[in-house]
Chain A
Amino acid sequence: MDFTIQNNKDTRSGFGEGLLEAGRRNPKVVAFCADLTGSLKMGDFAKEFPERFFQTGIAEANMINMAAGMALSGFVPFTGTFAAFSTGRVYDQIRQSVAYSNKNVKIAASHAGVTLGEDGATHQILEDIGMMKMLPNMTVIVPCDFNQTKNATIAAAEYEGPVYLRFGRPKVPNFTPVDEKFVIGKAQMLQEGTDVTIFACGHLVWKAVQALPILKEMGINAELINIHTIKPLDVEAVLKSVAKTRCVVTAEEHQRNGGLGDSIAQVLALNLPCPMEMVAVNDVFGQSGTPDELMKAYHLDTPDIVEAVKKVVARKQ
C-alpha cells in the first residue's frame, strides 16, 4: 500500500460524496436527516434530489422507523445524524424495525468517538460499535479515511440489508485509493509483516500507519490490517495473519468493551489463543478538548500503538 497522503479530509465529507454518487447511480436511494444536514454533508444530495431527501427535524426515533417503512417499498434509505443519536437514542427502533425486521436501512453515523472534540462526552459516543454489532442481521462498517468512506457508502447502498456506517468529524490524512471498490467484510491488508499483527479501524488506521516506520527502526516487522468491516468480521484474514505473527494489537476509537478488540479476541480465544493488547478507551467517558488533545489523553495515538506492540512482542517471547 502506498501511504502517500493525497490530502486531509473529513470522513463525513466522504459520506456526503458517496451518498450523492449512490443517489445518481440508483434512483431508489433516499435520505433522511434529523436536522444535521450540514454536519453530515448531506446538502449536495438534498439539493440534487430534493424529492428524495426528507428533513425529519430533531426526531431520530421517527426517522429510523420512517426509513424502515420506506425500505419496504424497495427504496434504499440512509438516515443521518451523529453516531450518538444514531444508536443509543434509537436502539429499540433499530432493533425491532430494522435489524429484527431485516429492512434495507443504512444508518449513517457521523461524529463518532472522541475526535468529535469540544462538544464533550454527551456527543462522543464510544459504545456504538458494540451496540450495533450485537444485533443479528446488522453489518457494521468503520472506514478509515475520506476515500474509503465514500466507497463504503456506495457499497452500503448496493448491499441488501441493514448497515451501520460509522465515520467522524475531523480532517484526517486521506491515503486509500480514490476509486477502490469497497468490499464489505473483506479486511484490507495495508502492510505485510511477520512479528506482530496490528488490526485497526477508523481513525486509528492512520495512527497505526505512522507507527510502522517507528517499529521498523526498533527491528519489529509489523503487519497492519484495516478491519473496516467489524461485522461480518473477516475471520479468515485474521487467523491467516495471526498464524504467522502469533501476537496481536488492536486499535480503535471506541470502548474496549464491545469494540473491534473484543471481536478479534473472541476469534482468537476460540481458534488461536495468543498474546494480545488493546488500544482503546477503557471504561471511561470522554471530555471536551481538541481532537488531537483527546486522542493523546485517551491513549489512542501512535505512541500508544508503539508501546502496545512492544509489550505484546515481549509477551510472545
Chain B
Amino acid sequence: MTINELERIASQVRRDIIRMVHGCQSGHPGGSLGATDIVTALYFDQMQIDPAHFRMDGNGEDMFFLSNGHISPMFYSILARRGYFPVSELATFRRLGTRLQGHPTTAEGLPGVRIASGSLGQGLSVAVGAAQAKRLNGDKHLVFVLMGDGEQEEGQIWEAAMYAPAKGVDNLVAIIDYNKKQIDGPTDEVLNLGDLRAKYEAFGWNVLEMSGNNMQAVVNTLKFARENAFQGAPQLILAHTEMGFGVDFMMGTHKWHGSAPNDEQAANALSQLQETIGDY
C-alpha cells in the first residue's frame, strides 16, 4: 500500500475515533489519535494477517496485542476498517450489550481481539508468551505489541523486559507509544521514565526509534524490524508520537487522555480530519 493510501486510512480512523468517543461521551481520544499511524501501518501494510478468517490461535500469521487497552477506539476502528467486523458496529462503542467494550475483551467474541487488556503492564508478557508459542510451533511469523509510555511505570513490564532477551525471544517487536503524557500529566512530572532507550538496551533489546506520526518513517521502521527479526534479540521501537495528533486543540496537552469532546469540539475536530473512505 502506498504511503498516501495509508494516510487516507489513518485520517478516516481518526474521524472514527472522534465520532465514537463523542457518540458515547466517554473514552480515550488523545492516545488513540497519537497511535493511529503506527497501528494503521501494521494492519494495512506490514502485518501478514487474514482478517476474513480470524483465528484466535494466530497460527500461521502475525499477531498484534494492544497492552494499553484504553486506546480501544483506535484499535476497534482499525479492526473494522480492515474487515474483522462490520464498520457499522463502531456506533455501538461503550454502549450496553456491545462487543466494543470500553477496554478490549474476548468475552463478547469480537473478531480481532485475542485477550483482554486495560489493566496495564500485562501485554508485553502476553506477547512474549505468544512469541514463544510460535517458536515451539516453528511458525516464522512475528508478534507485535503496543504499550503506552506511562505503562512503563508498571513493574511487570520490567519482568518481561528482562525475560525476553534472556531467553532469546527474537520474533517479537514491542512498540512504545512515546507521547510523554499520561492521565495525571507529563510523564516527566508524574514519574520520570528516564532514558528508556538505555534501559531497554541494558536489558538486551535492540532498540529502534521512529517518528510515530510520520507514515513513511513508521513503515520504514517496521520493515526494518521485520528484516532484523530472528537474530537472537527482541526489538523495541520507541515511537515518538504526539497525543491527540491530527486535532490541533487535542495536541500538546494531556487533557484529552480520557475525556470526550462536546458537540462543538467534535465538529471542530472533524473539520480538521478528512473523510476519505466514508464515515460509519
Interface residues of A (CB under 8 A from B): 30, 51-52, 54, 56-57, 59, 61-62, 64-75, 77, 92-93, 95-97, 100-103
Check A61–B156 contact: CB distance below 8 A: yes
Check B107–A30 contact: CB distance below 8 A: no
Check A73–B128 contact: CB distance below 8 A: no
Contacts of B57 in A (CB 8 A): 72-74
Interface residues of B (CB under 8 A from A): 56-59, 65, 105-107, 114-119, 121-123, 125-134, 136-137, 155-156, 159-160, 162-163, 166-167
5 chain-A/chain-B pairs, Cβ below 8 angstroms: A52-B136, A61-B125, A66-B132, A73-B57, A93-B122
Please name the residue on chain B nearest to A54 by beta carbon: B132
Contacts of B121 in A (CB 8 A): 61
Contacts of B137 in A (CB 8 A): 73
Check B122–A72 contact: CB distance below 8 A: no
Contacts of A62 in B (CB 8 A): 125, 128, 156, 159-160, 163
In the A-B complex, the 3 residue pairs with the closest CB atoms = A69-B129, A65-B125, A66-B129
Contact of A66 among B58, B116, B117, B125 (CB under 8 A): B125
Contacts of B107 in A (CB 8 A): 100-102
Please name the residue on chain B nearest to A73 by beta carbon: B133
In the complex where A54-B132, A73-B58 touch, is A61 in contact with B159 (Cβ < 8 A)? yes
Please name the residue on chain B nearest to A92 by beta carbon: B119
Check B136–A97 contact: CB distance below 8 A: no
Please name the residue on chain B nearest to A102 by beta carbon: B106
If A59-B162, A66-B129, A97-B115 are given as contacts, then 10 extra A-B residue pairs at C-beta distance below 8 Å, sorted by A number, are A30-B136, A61-B122, A61-B155, A62-B159, A65-B122, A66-B163, A70-B129, A72-B115, A72-B130, A100-B105
Check A97–B59 contact: CB distance below 8 A: no
Main DSSP-derived SS at the A contact region? helix
Bound Cα distance from A120 to B173, whole angstroms? 42
Contacts of A69 in B (CB 8 A): 65, 115, 125-133
In the complex where A69-B130, A72-B115 touch, is A51 in contact with B159 (Cβ < 8 A)? no
Least distance between B68 CB and chain A CB atoms (Å): 13
Check B159–A101 contact: CB distance below 8 A: no
Contacts of B116 in A (CB 8 A): 96-97, 100-101
Check B125–A103 contact: CB distance below 8 A: no
Bound Cα distance from A231 to B123, whole angstroms? 28
In the complex where A96-B118, A96-B122 touch, is A75 in contact with B156 (Cβ < 8 A)? no
Bound Cα distance from A100 to B114, whole angstroms? 12
Check B162–A57 contact: CB distance below 8 A: yes
Bound Cα distance from A56 to B156, whole angstroms? 12
Contacts of B123 in A (CB 8 A): 65
Please name the residue on chain B nearest to A77 by beta carbon: B129
Check B105–A68 contact: CB distance below 8 A: no
Contacts of A75 in B (CB 8 A): 133, 136
Bound Cα distance from A100 to B155, whole angstroms? 22
Bound Cα distance from A200 to B209, whole angstroms? 59
Bound Cα distance from A64 to B116, whole angstroms? 14
Check B133–A70 contact: CB distance below 8 A: yes
Bound Cα distance from A92 to B117, whole angstroms? 11
Contacts of A67 in B (CB 8 A): 129
Contacts of B166 in A (CB 8 A): 57
Least distance between A60 CB and chain B CB atoms (Å): 8
Check A101–B58 contact: CB distance below 8 A: no
Contacts of A96 in B (CB 8 A): 116-119, 122
Contacts of B156 in A (CB 8 A): 59, 61-62, 65, 93
Least distance between B75 CB and chain A CB atoms (Å): 15
Please name the residue on chain B nearest to A34 by beta carbon: B159
Bound Cα distance from A51 to B133, whole angstroms? 11
Least distance between B203 CB and chain A CB atoms (Å): 13
Bound Cα distance from A17 to B160, whole angstroms? 29
Least distance between A53 CB and chain B CB atoms (Å): 11
Least distance between B125 CB and chain A CB atoms (Å): 3
Please name the residue on chain A nearest to B137 by beta carbon: A73
Contacts of A30 in B (CB 8 A): 136
Least distance between B129 CB and chain A CB atoms (Å): 3
Contact of B126 among A59, A68, A102 (CB under 8 A): A68
Bound Cα distance from A233 to B106, whole angstroms? 26
Bound Cα distance from A305 to B166, whole angstroms? 51
Least distance between B4 CB and chain A CB atoms (Å): 35
Bound Cα distance from A65 to B122, whole angstroms? 6
Q: Which of B125, B130, B160, B163 has the most CB of A within 10 A?
A: B125
Bound Cα distance from A165 to B116, whole angstroms? 23
Check A65–B129 contact: CB distance below 8 A: yes
Check A72–B160 contact: CB distance below 8 A: no
Contact of B58 among A52, A56, A72, A92 (CB under 8 A): A72
Check A68–B129 contact: CB distance below 8 A: yes
Contacts of B56 in A (CB 8 A): 72
